[in-house]
Homo-oligomer: A and B are copies of this chain.
Amino acid sequence: MDMEARAHSEHPEALRLWLRLLTCTQLVEKQLRSRLRERFDTTLPRFDLMAQLERAPEGLKMNELSRRMMVTGGNVTGITDQLVQEGLVDRVDVEGDRRAYRVRLTARGRKQFHDMAQQHEQWVVEAFGGLSEKDVSTLHRLLGRVKETMVARSQEPAA
């Protein structure tokens, strides 16, 4: 459990921070994955897709889902196919563009997502149970800067 031993070198602070960030994320993610699997027989990307749809009652187009989930289009097709087959989402035509669909939660999908989301949230709350409200907001703010840095960089021309 000591991935952080990777730190060495002359800029140890940034490196140690990165390794800790990675460790924390992996620990939480592994726990969420295995619990989603155990209790709901589902995966994180499936949960993620449904979560995106829950916020968009009118549905989302495939390319919008792809952008929000930060994965390429082919993958979204696969996940969507599974969820359609289980009756949790459906594809509806977009008026005026016969190439495109919108993907929506079905009533059943909405209900199932609600159950999962409630559990999921409780697990997340537990994961951050060692932090005060102020700590949580500090973390959120500082990580926001990291996110900005990375997003800004990804929009620059390649170095």
Number of copies: 2
Knowing A146-B24, A147-B27, say if A136 contacts B52 (CB, 8 Å). no
8 contacts between A and B (CB under 8 A): A5-B52, A14-B127, A14-B128, A18-B127, A21-B21, A21-B24, A22-B25, A27-B151
Knowing A8-B55, A140-B20, say if A145 contacts B124 (CB, 8 Å). no
The minimal Cβ–Cβ distance linking A83 to chain B, given in whole angstroms, is 16
Query: Which chain B residues border A14 with CB–CB below 8 Å?
Result: 121, 124-125, 127-128, 136
**Secondary structure of the A contact surface, majority rule:** helix
* A18 CA to B44 CA, complexed, in Å: 13
Query: Which chain B residues border A21 with CB–CB below 8 Å?
Result: 21, 24-25, 28, 139, 143
Query: Which chain B residues border A25 with CB–CB below 8 Å?
Result: 21-22, 25
User: Out of B6, B23, B31, which one reaches A55, CB within 8 Å?
Assistant: B6
Query: Which chain B residues border A85 with CB–CB below 8 Å?
Result: none
Minimum CB distance partner of A6 in chain B: B51
A residues within 8 Å of B by Cβ? Answer: 1-3, 5-6, 8-11, 13-18, 20-29, 31, 48, 51-52, 54-55, 67-70, 117-118, 121, 124-131, 133, 135-140, 142-151, 153-154
